């Protein structure tokens, strides 16, 4: 039997209903999560190592990057990790201050070196892609992430870099709210031959935004079967399907017509891509369910799947994709708090509900009076110009 995880991030409900009824207890129950608004960062020992992730090939981030690592190494005596590709940037040679810290930096290569239990917290310099990259580096427990807005959109990067020293100090001292951004655990199971000789090991990938299934280069519609906890829900005929986290609801999903969900809401969003049906609307399902996606038996072509825009691969007849909520969220550090950060991002990045203000009653009255005066003047002028009867 294949092992799976269940997760339900919500306040624990009362489990007794009236004098006689109550919830039947079983091993799969998860009902002991604190109120998300009370989730705050604390350190049980002082953080000593920090991973700095910067947007690659962006010259505008070099100055903030050099300032940050110089301060962390010399002023805070911290061990700083960076990707080896970052130090390969030839433009860094132009910064004399960087040569004094370059030899003291620890390097690693993504996909080769394991960072598990080596990093105390993460600082991202760039756009939303840097946070997605940080998530991909840790396929189990993720250290707290502090993201500075130095990219294009910046929906997931709430911190401004101007006074970075004070803001990082607040985090190091444990004065910060957290948003636990749930991730999706995606397991790809390949079809095995009848003799069982060509059995392939399942592939497991954790995503922060979404997993996307589409028709790839084929000119035909996708024909995909969708199951929820083993029950066939529907067949998708269209360009594809987006399965997203609440964090990912403001990414590809919202562009495909889905609702925007606060990242603390325990849910999985299922959004069709250009469905050939007028009634196929996006749906939200509980975070604890397991989704299975597979090609319909009569599908004309393979389906293609990508994970946070990466690791794109084809799924053939007999292959299956299982998706559920992971027990390893991304602890994103808030600049203010969970509510303020999210609504600020909606307004500043997506211009949510931006329109001109409706005029007040007294302003409308002034306009009405002026319009009435103008009409009376026109009537008077018309009366004077009218020829008299003789």
CA distance 43 to 120: 9
- Cβ atoms within 10 A of the Cβ of 191, count? 14
CA distance 24 to 9: 19
Which two three-digit tokens encode residue 256? 């495909």
**Beta carbons within 8 Å of 21's beta carbon, 6+ residues apart:** none
CA distance 206 to 220: 29
The catalytic site residues sit at 128
Q: Please report where in the chains the tokens 């294949």 appear, as a residue.
A: 2
Are 55 and 86 contacting, i.e. CB atoms less than 8 angstroms apart?
A: no
Buried b (16+ CB within 10 A) or exposed e, 125-163: bbbbbbbbbbbbbbbeebbbbbbbbbbebbbbbbbebee
Smallest CA-to-CA distance from 6 within 325, 328, 329 is with: 325
CA distance 38 to 266: 16
CA distance 238 to 224: 9
């Amino acid at each position: 039997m294949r092992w799976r995880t269940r997760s339900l991030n919500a306040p624990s409900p009362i489990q007794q209903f009236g004098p006689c009824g109550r919830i039947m207890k079983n091993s799969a129950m998860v009902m002991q999560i604190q109120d998300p608004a009370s989730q705050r960062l604390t350190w049980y020992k002082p953080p000593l190592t920090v991973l700095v992730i910067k947007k690659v090939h962006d010259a505008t981030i070099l100055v903030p990057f050099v300032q940050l690592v110089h301060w962390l190494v010399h002023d805070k005596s911290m061990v700083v990790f960076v990707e080896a590709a970052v130090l390969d940037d030839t433009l860094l040679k132009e910064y004399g201050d960087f040569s004094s810290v370059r030899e003291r930096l620890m390097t690693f290569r993504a996909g080769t070196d394991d960072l598990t239990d080596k990093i105390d917290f993460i600082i991202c310099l760039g756009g939303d892609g840097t946070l997605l990259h940080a998530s991909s580096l840790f396929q189990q427990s993720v250290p707290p992430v502090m993201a500075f807005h130095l990219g294009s959109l910046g929906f997931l990067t709430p911190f401004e870099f101007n006074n970075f020293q004070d803001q990082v100090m607040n985090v190091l001292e444990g004065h910060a709210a957290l948003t636990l951004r749930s991730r999706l655990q995606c397991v790809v199971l390949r079809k095995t031959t009848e003799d069982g000789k060509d059995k392939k090991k399942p592939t497991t990938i954790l995503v922060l935004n979404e997993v996307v299934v589409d028709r790839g280069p084929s000119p035909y519609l996708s024909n995909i079967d969708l199951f929820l906890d083993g029950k066939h829900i529907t067949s998708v005929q269209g360009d594809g399907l987006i399965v997203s986290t609440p964090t990912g609801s403001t990414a590809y999903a919202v562009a495909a017509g889905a609702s925007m969900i606060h990242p603390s809401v325990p849910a999985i969003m299922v959004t069709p891509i250009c469905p050939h049906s007028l009634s196929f609307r996006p749906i939200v399902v509980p975070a604890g369910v397991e989704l299975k996606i597979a090609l319909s038996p009569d599908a004309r072509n393979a389906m293609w799947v990508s994970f946070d825009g990466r690791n794109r691969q084809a799924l053939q007849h007999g292959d299956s994709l299982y998706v559920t909520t992971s027990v390893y969220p991304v602890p994103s550090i808030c600049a203010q708090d969970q509510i303020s950060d999210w609504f600020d991002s909606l307004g500043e990045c997506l211009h949510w509900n931006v329109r001109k203000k409706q005029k007040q009653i007294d302003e409308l009255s002034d306009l009405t009076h002026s319009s009435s005066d103008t009409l009376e003047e026109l009537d008077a002028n018309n009366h004077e110009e009218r020829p008299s009867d003789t």
